[in-house]
Amino acid sequence: MANLTIGIGDLKVCRTTDVLVTYALGSCVGICLLDSQAGVGGLSHIMLPDSTSSSGGAATPMKFADTAIPMLIREMEKMGASRGRLRAKIAGGATMFAITNDRFNIGDRNVAQVKAILAKERIPILAEDTGSNYGRTLFFYPGTGVMEIRAATHGTRQL
């Protein structure tokens, strides 16, 4: 068993014997996908909702929800996962600073976009720990399907 670290604007897929971990989920969102029958899990750490709003979006597709989630699905399918069996758990999307304009609330926009894309892909969200005003570290255990959220001021939760 190995811990595979996913950086900001990154994604990885693995077999159920590994653990996926990502740190520093503030306004970013971590998307955990699992096909338990195939024994394949994946995690994406997205920064922004939409690649079309960035001039460098095409060069950095793993940073954006609209491009990273389809990429994660394709990578999982290469390892034998079936799109129809995928299930999701998501975390992050916090409002890290006082914001008076919803347009600048990246956390809420990230969560909304992730949910819209997963709905479009017909992937149900089984659990989520999103919003609020604190950062999270996410551990995903594909072998059990558990998403563990660790937050300095809010303890540890398993979903």
DSSP states of 116-151: HHHHHTT--EEEEEE-SS--EEEEEETTTTEEEEEE
28 catalytic? Reply is yes
Q: Are strands 19-25 and 3-6 parallel, antiparallel or unpaired?
A: parallel
Measured between its terminal Cα atoms, the distance across the chain in Å is 21
Q: Where are the beta strands (DSSP E) in 26-154?
A: 29-35, 40-46, 87-92, 125-130, 136-141, 146-151
Segment holding 74, helix H or strand E? helix 65-78
Q: Which of 11, 14, 28, 31 is catalytic?
A: 28
Q: How far is CA 47 from the centre of its chain?
A: 10
Dihedral sign computed on CA atoms, order 81, 86, 87, 90: positive
Give the residue numbers marked as catalytic: 28
